[in-house]
Structure formats: C-alpha cells, structure tokens
A and B are shown apart, each in its own frame.
Chain A
C-alpha cells in the first residue's frame, strides 16, 4: 500500500511529533496512554514468553530436529534426548482424566442448570469453584498418601480381576502410574467442565425447553434431546478447556505418575509427563543441550495448551453469544 505525503489520514497526523506533544498536554490523553501501556505490557510479556522459549530451545531444535518427537531415549549422560515418552504420558493421563471428568462434569452441570432450584444451584456452583481453587500440590499430597496405597491394594487388583483381559489393565499393581495420575487429574478438572458447561446450558433460551415439554417430552428428553444439543459446541469448549488444564498440570501428576520414561499400553505402568520431567529435572540440568531439550519440551507444552485454549474460548464464545442473541442462530 503506497501512501503519499499529502494523503495522511487523521490517525497518522495524530502521531506526528508535534501533534503528540499537544496531545500530551491533555490529562485524558496521558491517562489513555498510561493504561494503554499497561495493556500493551501484557501483549509484550506473552510475545517475550514465546520468544524466550524459542531462543533457549534453539540448540536442541538444531541438533534433533523433528526426530525429537519420535525418539524414545532420554539419556542426559550420553546427551540423547527424545520427547516421545513424555508426550505419550501427557496425552494418556489427560485422556484418562477426560474419560472420567467429562461425564461427571456434564452430568453435574445438567443437574445444576436444569433441575436444581436456583439457590441450591448457586451454592453448589460456589463449592465447585472452591474445589477449583484447591492448590494442585494438595491434590498431590492426597494422591501420594491416600490414592496410591488404595490403588495398589484395592482398585488395581479388582480391575485386573474384572477387566484384566484388556491390555489396558495388565501388569503389576504398583499403585503409581498413568491410571492414578489420570484419576487425580480428573478430580482437578471436573470443576472446570462443570462450571463452564453449566453456563452454556443456562444460555440456551427457555422457549426451547418449553417447546419440548409442550410436545410431551419428559424432563430428561427435553434436556438430552433439545438443550444439550443446543449447547453442544460450548460443552466441547469446556472439554477443551479441561484438556488444556490437564495437559499442563504439574505437581499432582509429578507426585503420582512414577517418573519413569516408559511407553506402555498398560495404564498400571509408571510413566512420565512433560510437566513432570520439567519439574524434576529442570533445576538439576547440567549442560546447555540438556537445558535446551527441557525448554523445547516446555515449548511443546506451551503450544499444545495455547492452541487448545484458543479453540476452547472460541467455541464457548460462539455458543454463549448465540444463546444470548448476540449472534444469529
């Protein structure tokens, strides 16, 4: 786009040095500028975050290239680094978490949005919000001393007895491992699924429910066949949001996953996740290549959650806006 000096727009004029000086004489403009700088700082920090991760992982990226993502070996002593076991562990634990948390959260949200009287609904939502505020290290603490022994002595043997023919539930019952980490993650992300799903369900217009009921549907039929489908995209959004949380969750997973870079089809097997290896090895990493490989893992984690979060926000935005009549259906 070519601009001629004569055809300056008002916006360009406003940024000429003299105009700028005149504007600074005005208190409103100063306030505008100061707050704008604060808002821009946020953008700057985010950009700097990406930049730092990119620059400090340069050595590992140059040395391993794309094979970083398909290599199984993680050997700091001989300088060989592959991310596969960590990516695998992160995805498996998050998948387990979603399998448990999504039905629980969406079911709870249906109860809160459709059935519970408003007072009860808001106080239960309050409790669920408090659950979301519990620090992750506390979940880890309960995981280590309560869930792990319980898994070892009761849950895993029972699973082996009943579902042991599936490769998922085979191998020795250590207590720690993918399944335990997934369960802890599930409890941690349920509040997110619950509160976001509740919001999108509430955004579905009343007429839809009433129309279904007037046609003779039972309460459950109107909910399941009319309200839930109408809020479907937003519920997907809440699932993505929960997934992003689960992928990046560090402390609780680190404390129960077993911290062993193995890839195994069994959920009973100890494993490792990206966040856990960062927590365990980052402060002890010796040598630039080691540190750079860890930072590349951080970059991978960042990109994964960044994309998922972006997608989730978009989906939630679309459904709640449509329900409230901002967007055409």
Chain B
C-alpha cells in the first residue's frame, strides 16, 4: 500500500471513531445527569417529602407537598387553556386549511415555540398579573398554556396528516359530511398520536421555571383556589439551590430527582407507547 493510501485509511478510521465519540459523549451526558441526581437526591426522598409542607428556615425535614400540588394545578390550567386551541388549530391545518393561512399559522407556531420562556413570562405578567395587581396560579397556568399551544398544534397536524386518505374517502362514500368524517373517523384514528403529543407538551412545560418566576411566584404554604401565588417544583428547586442553607440544597436535589423522574418517565412511556405501532396500517 502506498503511503498516501495508508494516510487516507487511517484518517478515515480516526475521524469515524471521533464522530462515534461525539455521539457517545452526548448520550452519556443523560445517564450521568440521572445518576448524579439519584446519588445526591435519592436518600432524601421519603414519604414526608410528598406529604409535608416545607419546614421553617433552620429546621430540618419538611417536604414539598405544596410545590407538587402547585405544579399539578399549573399543568391542569395549562392543559385547559392550551390543549383546545392547539388541538382545534391542528385540525384546521390538516383538514380545513387552504394554502396561505396554514403556512402562516405553521410558521408562527414554530416561531412562538422558539420564543424564550422568560419572555412568555413577561407577556403573562403584562396580561394577567398587571391588571390583577398580584401574582397568581392563574397567571402561571396561562404562561404555561401559551407554551403548550404550538407543540400540540404541530403534533396534532402531523398525526392527522398521517391518517390514510382511504379512511377519509371511505367515510365520504358512506355519506358522512366533512365534520362527521373528521370527528368520527380521522380524529379517533390519530387519537393515540395526538394524546402523546399533548403529554409530551405538558411534560416539557412541567419543568419550566422562568415563566413562573413572576407569574405564579412562590409560596411557602398551601395556595387555596386559583388567585393566590403558588409554589411549584421547578421554582422551589431554583430558590433552594441558590439559597444559603445546606438543608435547602439537600431538598433541592431531592426535588430535582422527582422532577426529572417525572419528566423522563412521561417521555419514555409516551414514546414507547407511540412506537408500538399505530391503530391503523400505514400506507
């Protein structure tokens, strides 16, 4: 073999292994993060973590029951506000749209999806907090809801488009008009994908901290109703991690593990559920 060929072959082997290393490093990062959280936060997760209020500063123990419930309430509001708009908008794009409006909507959805979450927080502050003159669960849920819309909309559209046109034609042939066809044939056929899209969108906003800082704010106690500031897991992690007390840091690790576990578990189950095949044959 000529020297040139040897050089080319070794460059080939070297660069290809380098790309493999890049992929490996990226993938290992996830396992490292997960492992480090389990190692640091695992021992602090106990029953009282889920059932007790935070202990007063200086006392050890206590839990994050209010933050967990707060996050659930925020997610419920986000779903109530964002999912209907995203879902119906997605139906419009896939079934009713012409040419120009859907393009505009799709492009705007992608751009809104890329808006930094802290800017969404300012928007919710200006629109909800300013008129009400105080922080509230409602404002936080509104901010998260806005972030849910683009994801749900784009997901719904793409899963509806995957439904074979033969199903649509079959419905028409049986005499259904368009909305019946959509409601009773196309939507059920795509329901699995749409549901996973909704869950993924909610899992994503469940970990959002920035838009909650000045909308839902924080609360060391229970937050009754929807008009009071509320605690939430991500904000508590931020406050505790940047706070001065060793005990807070421990709690932050535990809360981080719970949050990450929640988000990863949702992602894994949902994606596995999705890849197990669809309720119709792909054409």
Contact = CB atoms under 8 A, between A and B. Distances in A.
Interface of A: 27-28, 30-32, 34-43, 45-46, 48-49, 52-53, 56, 103-108, 110-112, 114-116, 124, 126-131, 133-142, 144-146, 187, 190-191, 194, 218-221, 224, 241, 244-245, 247-251, 255, 275, 278-279, 282-283, 294-295, 298, 301-302, 305-306, 308-310, 313
Interface in B1-48: 8-9, 11-12, 15-16, 18-23, 25-27, 29-30, 33, 36-37, 40
A46 B111 contact: yes
Nearest to B210: A250
Given A38-B89, A221-B8, A309-B114, A141 B16 contact: no
A49 B36 contact: no
A305 B114 contact: yes
A12 to B, nearest CB: 16
B36 A142 contact: yes
Contact of B150 (A42, A56, A107, A278): A42
Contacts, number: 275
B153 interface: yes
B234 A135 contact: yes
Contacts of B68: none
Contact of A279 (B21, B127, B213): B213
Given A31-B178, A310-B111, 15 more contacts: A28-B177, A31-B183, A35-B92, A39-B93, A52-B122, A128-B26, A128-B27, A130-B30, A136-B210, A138-B37, A247-B116, A250-B209, A298-B122, A301-B116, A302-B119
7 contacts: A39-B92, A42-B109, A46-B108, A52-B123, A111-B23, A145-B249, A275-B116
Contacts of A282: 121-122, 125, 213-214
Contact of A250 (B84, B104, B118): B118
Most chain A beta-carbon neighbours within 10 Å: one of B8, B127, B207, B238 = B238
Contact of B115 (A38, A56, A110, A248): A248
Given A28-B178, A145-B241, A305-B115, A135 B29 contact: no
B209 A251 contact: yes
Contact of B182 (A31, A103, A251, A298): A31
B108 A42 contact: yes
A41 B82 CA distance: 11
Contacts of B238: 137, 140, 251, 255
Contacts of A127: 27, 30
A42 B105 contact: yes
B112 interface: yes
A139 B237 CA distance: 11
B268 A134 contact: no
B267 interface: yes
A308 B114 CA distance: 9
